[in-house]
Chains A and B, each alone.
Chain A
Amino acid sequence: MKAHLTRRYMFSASHRLHSDEMSEEENRVTYGKCNNPYGHGHNYTIEVTVSGPVDDQTGMVCDLVDLDAFVHAQILGRYDHQNLNLLAEFVKQVPTTENLCIAIYEIVKRGFHHAHLERVRIEETMMNSFEYAGENGR
């Protein structure tokens, strides 16, 4: 029987929302205080949802130890206490939480094969969150 399993993780990072394709004025109008040139930071909470049949022998969708190890090495190790704007994926892309959500989804999709990735959800603050379930996701 198929079940969905979700695990939450936290990391802290800084970013600045600024597009080289816009003028200084356009950037200020579009991103408001998020365009502050010195950047600012958030405590991000991410939720990784995987699915699959519950294994008869173990009662598990996948071993949490494997999921934790992957996320710690590939996601938290990459983003925690970093300036997102300096990372390769955000050289040409604005590090909005939408784009961060897609980047994290792609890393998990590419590298984690113990269960099917359903969705990545990120809370940037307690008041806003973003979800990405792949190009064909709901």
Chain B
Amino acid sequence: MVYLTRKAEFSAAHYYHNPEFTPDENQRVFGKCNNPNGHGHNYTLEVTVKGEVDPKSGFVVDLKQLKDVMSREVLDAFDHRFLNKEVPEFSTDVPTMIPTTENIAIAIWQRLAPKLKAAQLHRVRVYETPDLFVDFYGEA
């Protein structure tokens, strides 16, 4: 088994707000991240896939295919977007997922896993800043 990791970057705005909380609770739980006007980050995404090395090609995965799937499923949807307003998983209007780094990693996993051929998704790592990152290994 060989693991291969591809990095990508995207920049997006978000804020933390749970419609089931009172304004006071939102402020207490989420602090300055609750500002409804949003704030932004430069996110770094690392997608790790695993598989056996194909004896003919020497590849674990076709990098071009991995790059295309990451671009189409994640970067086109997230880059230079306001996550709460433009990405359905994080819509603030209905109680969906709050766009924390944890949930961004889960959402990216859910977008990528069904689209990858041959190689198996192993880990999604999302850096919100160089000093904070989340790893998601799937539901198991």
Contacts and interface: CB of A to CB of B under 8 A. Distances in A.
Question: Does B associate with A?
Answer: yes
Contact of B134 (A4, A8, A57): A4
B99 to A, nearest CB: 7
Given A59-B98, A59-B99, A61-B102, A7 B20 contact: no
B132 interface: yes
B131 A57 contact: no
Interface string B73-93: 000000000000000000000
B132 A6 contact: yes
Nearest to A61: B102
Contacts of B132: 5-8, 64
Contact of B102 (A3, A7, A8, A9): A3
Contacts of B101: 5
Interface string A56-82: 011111011100000000000000000
Interface in A41-55: 49, 54
Find the residue from A2, A3, A8, A61 having the highest chain B CB count within 10 A: A3
A60 B100 contact: yes
Given A59-B97, A65-B31, A54 B133 contact: no
Contact of B20 (A1, A49, A57, A64): A57
Nearest to B99: A59
B27 to A, nearest CB: 13
Contact of A59 (B20, B100, B133): B100
B133 A58 contact: no
Given A54-B103, A59-B16, 11 more contacts: A3-B134, A5-B102, A5-B132, A5-B134, A6-B132, A6-B135, A58-B18, A60-B102, A63-B29, A64-B132, A65-B31
Interface of B: 16, 18, 20-21, 29-31, 97-103, 105-106, 130-137, 139
Interface of A: 1-9, 49, 54, 57-61, 63-65
